Amino acid sequence: MISFDGVSKSWGDNHVLRSLDFQVHPGEKVSIIGPSGSGKTTILRILMTLETPNEGVVRVGGKTLWDVPAGGKAKETKETRLARRDVGMVFQSFNLFPHMTALANVMEAPIKVSKVPKEQAREEALELLDMVGLREHCEKKPPKLSGGQQQRVAIARALAMKPRVLLFDEPTSALDPELIGDVLGVIRDLAHRSDMTMLMVTHEMRFAEEISDQVVMFDSGAVVEQGPPAQILKEPQHERTQRFLRAVLEH
């Protein structure tokens, strides 16, 4: 469903991704773990076409999102735009439109981008807000909602575009501890019930263990090791993973 083949990304001398090879199968729930600055967010942003690779091929659902030859430049093609439609993302900092109600935030992209009729978009948005437990708050604007509620609206907004691939970038890292549980609950339900492919950058190791089919340990722009959560989190083979997990657990 997702493949990175020989993908590199640099900013000046900062080589963030180094000829990265990485695959996610359809329907898989994959958690990416690794130290700060290792390039995890960059992977998600390349999938969202918010960043371009310097080299390599990225495919989503069999379509080519990026195909950049060595020394070439990334070009957006028609296929890039088609592949991009299959991808949704939930950001660390919610990124809702503050002047619009929760309902309007969720309806916006289906109406503007997918040209869904307004009444249908409203019905679907209300169903999604119901699913994330916020139907009764649908007329509130983001400043009147808690961080956890805003993040649940952001999840509903991403789902409204019916993505085949949903990306989460540390979705609870901006939340107060008491608000984390509700957001993780919504993501857990999605992971268990939906056949969407889910890729999540997280520091919540217990959660990663609970919902993931695969955990990928990432460092310095490359995969260190990858496997089922029981293997990577309980019996990591690489010294780098062992050191990282020790540091996280001590924290």
- What residues make contact with ligand ATP under the rule CB under 6 A? 11, 14, 16, 34, 36-42
CB 112 within 8 A of CB 147: no
Contacts of 169 (CB under 8 A, 6+ apart): 40, 41, 44, 89, 90, 91, 92, 201
Query: Measured from the CB of residue 54, what is the shortest distance to ligand ATP in angstroms?
Result: 13
Query: Measured from the CB of residue 33, what is the shortest distance to ligand ATP in angstroms?
Result: 10
The radius of gyration computed from the CA coordinates of the chain, to the nearest angstrom, equals 18
**Nearest in space to 87 (alpha carbons), one of 158, 165, 171:** 165
Q: Where are the alpha helices (DSSP H) in 113-204?
A: 118-131, 147-160, 177-193
| Residue 12 or 143 having the CB closest to ligand ATP | 12
- C-alpha distances (whole Å) from 25 to each of 63, 153, 187, 226 are 14, 27, 19, 13
State both tokens at 159.
């789902």
d(CA 13, CA 63): 31
| Residue 93 or 242 having the CB closest to ligand ATP | 93
233: left (phi over 0), alpha (psi -120 to 50) or beta: alpha
| Residue 38 or 241 having the CB closest to ligand ATP | 38
Query: Measured from the CB of residue 248, what is the shortest distance to ligand ATP in angstroms?
Result: 12
Query: Measured from the CB of residue 6, what is the shortest distance to ligand ATP in angstroms?
Result: 18
| Residue 78 or 249 having the CB closest to ligand ATP | 249
| Residue 45 or 63 having the CB closest to ligand ATP | 45
| Residue 43 or 104 having the CB closest to ligand ATP | 43
| Residue 42 or 80 having the CB closest to ligand ATP | 42
Query: Measured from the CB of residue 238, what is the shortest distance to ligand ATP in angstroms?
Result: 17
DSSP characters over 23-91? EE-TT-EEEEE--TTSSHHHHHHHHTTSS--SEEEEEETTEEEEEE-TT------HHHHHHHTTEEEE-
Query: Measured from the CB of residue 13, what is the shortest distance to ligand ATP in angstroms?
Result: 11
Query: Measured from the CB of residue 34, what is the shortest distance to ligand ATP in angstroms?
Result: 6
